[in-house]
Structure 1
């Protein structure tokens, strides 16, 4: 610009004089210098505008990158890192003797089933709707974040003397999220488990960042406790919950190590024909022979194994052991095996069972797979396919715990079950002589109409046994016949009664059995 002013100051008067005729002509060098200078100014101005545009775009990109680093892209909430930073600031600015912060952990119940049955697009729709509903319930000053796949965390300032408002807020969240979400014409229903932790329980000597992490951790612990207590509810954090969680983590590690070390073993409960009092088979029950905890029952480790995804491997190992044990029994004795609902979600489950039968050369007609009614409500089509595959190979399939899962008569008629097992809770009512047998009698009448034989669980005394004998023919099992026993005790029992297989009977050719079934089918077809 300085060069332009200097050059123009000399060249332009000469140009003006030339135009008016008072001079012979402009200085060519100065004129060219002026033109070149103007070109440089225009070029510089263009470059300035380009740089300015680039800086604005870069500034916007940095702001967007910062926003994406702090915000969950799916729901628009804060993410875990930015929430922790915000919580640390709030702990410094909002907490006093009268005011505190409540961290509220919200986790969707059974969200994996929504994804598995309806697809991830449906799951995303549920997450977005959940975030919007939670945010609408938050009071002024509340902050919401999505910190995991289906877990949200919010922080709300409140007055210490009115902590019940936080409880009312949690109740409203539960009610708001429970409303169905519509996605592509499908109604999706979910519930939430909520854990609440207050800043008044934090160590005052903690730094703000550490205090924020500790508060989030306590809310998580309370939320897991709510899930353990049945889901779709809320709990405040209490110190014993942390000890329970540590024990839970210890159990998880112990289960994984126990599977690798062969600590899970099959126990066997007798099954008896009530009409003849003859032993007809055994039900295999899992036990954990832990070096630290002793013998642990399935009610403790099975739910945890299901949650951590270890139930499939655990069950298949037990079934393999049971096949080897049962090959030593009399060939007429059957083996019943309970199957977890989690395993029934595996589309390859039937093939895995058949592979085990082939590998251990165990007769399929001696195996009875027991599935619970809850499996029928998750994916009836897949269950029907699995049952059909197993029965086509000669395996029997029973419906376990009948009466507790509210299966419909149409399901019982459409699914090819071989047997019904009456839940022990109904059998226990037979102690009441007045009307205890009414429900059991109704179930037996229904099974007769469906032409399904019955096994009664939970026979604990002679009174129940006599009542069942009066109601009809069936198999039974329970502590009246003895507690479940390990394989060596069962072998001793069977040896005393002459019910062990001979050497030639212990090895069975599965292919030969299939040929026999195929030959029988061909004969039946020719006879038809």
Structure 2
């Protein structure tokens, strides 16, 4: 639209210059004709009068012809004047149309993004000059794509029109409303500096307005929105000095996305630290992409122990980012961003390839557990991709256990079951991670072919100090026995917790009591000491484990 408007303005400007040159020529001709008419008329008309009264022979033929020509030129000039008047009127209409195309959203009749910047700058100048504060509010409809997908774009357009009309009706007269594009609106509103709650009240009115579903073509459509607000006042501090409308828009946008991140259907005021957080997040995103290209992501390994025998039975692979700028970064910092930007599958594959290579040097009885993102399970080809990695890296499938969280069970259960079945048929085991913290039910455990239940660390940490928690953990262990699913307890921090778990039965455990996650090199040294490298024959004595016992180095399954 902006490109079209620019072309229209450029064409209009070129045409205007060409016509202006022609108009000057026409004006010159008209002036010359009038001057010539006055000169020739002053000579010809007296001769005509004398001839008619019988006192002369009549005007000079040449002068008479010149006079007739003058009259013709004057008539031509008049006609041209009328044409020019009509032409100017049409030109003004065309310019107004072009301006409207450039400044007004054709669907809703609101200002558009291009014009909103200039309107905001003007309103900002007037408000601050008058000692008023100014709020810029960004409004983004939640899940609007679903409305278009379910009901069609025609219905979606009607929804946008209804929303624009409703916002116009509820905003004060001195506010300006714009549709910035898609499902995003914005308005700028002056208010008194001593009435900072005016904006909160206005936002409250907007939420109240859309608390009732819209009825469009006999279809009830629920509307929720995420709103970001930034304000500026004549006494603004340096941290919030905005300088121009673009800065206001940018900061309101940051606040709006914070509202979405916090759960949608809410409003958030901009704070200076948000900009720093966004900048850091953008740097993280760029760093993650760069890190994937430079193999900066490495696996770390946490020991998994048979609590009954004290034997080392395997490791859980945990992701670490060896960033050249940030040092060693833990997964809670970068995994959510990797999921958001769509590189989690690539990241996971890189880590698994490294883990397969590392584990190939271990005792073949040692297993490796790998966490799988819910986003990976949405890929219908996930099982085939994982099995391809296993084959390409010549890794025994029975040594691999993937762990999926209860959040994954929100996805298509049928698709998850298909993936699990494909993997189990090839020997890969599947564990349910963080059991007890999500939404899985006994029916889910019956429906999906899990091989193991992993009790979340939040339960394990309270063992021995909270009777209810101890009862829940004991019930989960009993459930696992009944379903013939081995149990893993994560987050074992001390010997008291270890003793409680040992009394519950045979369980596999992990936690800082056995040591923190280690790099591949550290694990290799540990296994060499335990005689659990692939080249070892397993006849070396194992060192004492944290409970004070000494056990054979043979790997065992819990």
TM-score by length of 2: 0.70
Following the alignment from structure 2 to structure 1, what is the Cα–Cα distance between the partners of residues 147 and 354?
Answer: 34
Aligned residue number for residue 237 of structure 1: 270
Q: Distance in 1 between matches of 2:211 and 2:495?
A: 47
Give the direction of change, closer, same or farther, for the CA distance of 1:416–1:187 in structure 2 (3 Å limit): farther
- Alpha-carbon distance in 1 for matches of 2:197, 2:487: 52
Which of 501, 505, 519 aligns to 1:486? It is 519
Q: What is the aligned counterpart of 2:227 among 186, 194, 201?
A: 194
Q: After TM superposition, list the pairs within 5 Å mapping 1:167-182 onto structure 2.
A: 167-173=200-206
RMSD: 3.9
- For 1:205-284, list aligned pairs within 5 A: 211-229=244-262, 231-284=264-317
SS across alignment from 2:404: strand
Q: Does structure 1 residue 432 correspond to structure 2 residue 432?
A: no
Question: Who wins on radius of gyration, i.e. which is larger?
Answer: 2
Query: 2:303–2:314: 8 Å Cα contact kept in structure 1?
Result: yes
Task: Work out whether residues 111 and 123 of structure 1, in 8 Å CA contact, stay in contact via their aligned partners in 2.
Answer: no
State the partner residue of 2:68. Answer: none
Structure 1 residues 391, 170: closer, same or farther in 2, change over 3 A? farther
1:451 aligns with 2:490: no
How many Å apart are 1:316 and its aligned residue? 1.3
Segment of structure 1 superposing worse, 190-199 or 114-123: 114-123
Count of aligned pairs between the two proteins? 450
Equivalence map 1:18-417=2 (5 Å): 69-70=102-103, 78-107=111-140, 114=146, 124=156, 128=160, 138-147=171-180, 149-173=182-206, 192-200=225-233, 211-229=244-262, 231-417=264-450
Please give the alpha-carbon distance, in whole angstroms, between the structure 1 residues aligned to 2:342 and 2:299. Answer: 20
Alignment-derived partner of residue 10 in structure 1: none
In the alignment, is the contact (CA less than 8 A) between 2:132 and 2:234 conserved in 1?
no
Match for 1:475 among 508, 529, 550?
508
Distance 2:346 2:176 in 1: 42
Q: Secondary structure at the match of 1:147?
A: strand
- Separation of aligned partners in 2, 1:416 and 1:122: 45
Cα distance, 1:352 vs. partner?
1.7
User: SS of the counterpart of 1:468?
Assistant: helix
- Cα deviation, 1:317-370, whole Å, max 9, x if unaligned, reads 111111111111111111111112222222322222122112111111111111
State the partner residue of 2:452: 419
Which shifted more, 187-196 or 218-227? 187-196
Which whole-Å deviations, capped at 9, do the CAs of 1:368-396 have from their partners, x for residues lacking one?
Answer: 11111112213333322222222222211
**Cα displacement (A) at 1:132:** 6.8
Shift of 1:91: 2.0
Moved more, 306-315 or 77-86: 77-86
Alignment partners' CA distance in 2, 1:202 and 1:221: 23
Runs of at least 5 residues in structure 1 that lack an aligned partner in the other structure: 1-51, 505-528
Distance verdict in 2 for CA 1:477–1:116, change over 3 Å:
farther
Separation in 2 of the partners of 1:122 and 1:448? 56
Q: Deviations over 1:174-233 (max 9, x none)?
A: 56667778999999878544321013279899xxx9611111111122233444555544
Q: Which range is displaced more, 257-266 or 90-99?
A: 90-99
Q: Where does the alignment leave 5 or more consecutive residues of structure 2 unmatched?
A: 1-85, 538-558
Question: Deviations for 1:222-280, whole angstroms, at most 9, x for unmatched residues?
Answer: 23344455554433222222222222221111111111111110000111122222111
- Partner of residue 35, structure 2: none
Cα distance change, pair 289–109 in 1 and its aligned pair in 2 (3 A) = farther
